[in-house]
Amino acid sequence: MKLKILVVVGGVILGLFVTGVVKAQELPPGALSCGGGGLDTAIGCIPVGSAEGIVVFFGQWLLGMAGGIAFLLILVAAFQIITSRGNPEQLKAGQQLLGAAISGLLMIAFSLFIFRLIASDILKIPGLI
């Protein structure tokens, strides 16, 4: 139960952070290259020339990490369900973990959709998703 709450809260926090991501198409040409104003790091080229480029980079990076973590949680839940050997407590724990991972992914996707609907379509804020 604690893990489910942790995954859901983590999904909400990540969803709230990722909703500020700006479209990469609206950045000036060359803003995402290391040649002119980028910082070459181990996780990739971080564009330091504009705030929009930094937000796009970290937003995409965190969204990819969230998907990877959710995939790993789904694999752990499947392993837990498969190896429960009829133990109802372990089976229930695996089912709860699977539900938490999927609900976290759905929460991130719906938060992005709602943010896009409100920010771009209703309020007409330029430069947002």
Task: Give pLDDT tens digits for 38-50.
Answer: 777 777 778 777 7
**In Å, how far are 56, 73, 108 from 95, measured between CA atoms?**
34, 11, 20
The pair phi, psi for residue 6, each rounded to 5°, is: -65, -45
Give the per-residue pLDDT at 17: 45
Cβ distance 21 to 59 under 8 Å?
yes
Classify residue 87 as exposed, middle or buried by CB count within 10 Å of its CB (0-12, 13-18, 19+): exposed
Q: What is the mean pLDDT of residues 3-30?
A: 51
Q: Can you give the pTM of this predicted structure?
A: 0.60
pLDDT confidence band for 84 (50 / 70 / 90)? very high
Q: What is the average pLDDT score of the chain?
A: 76
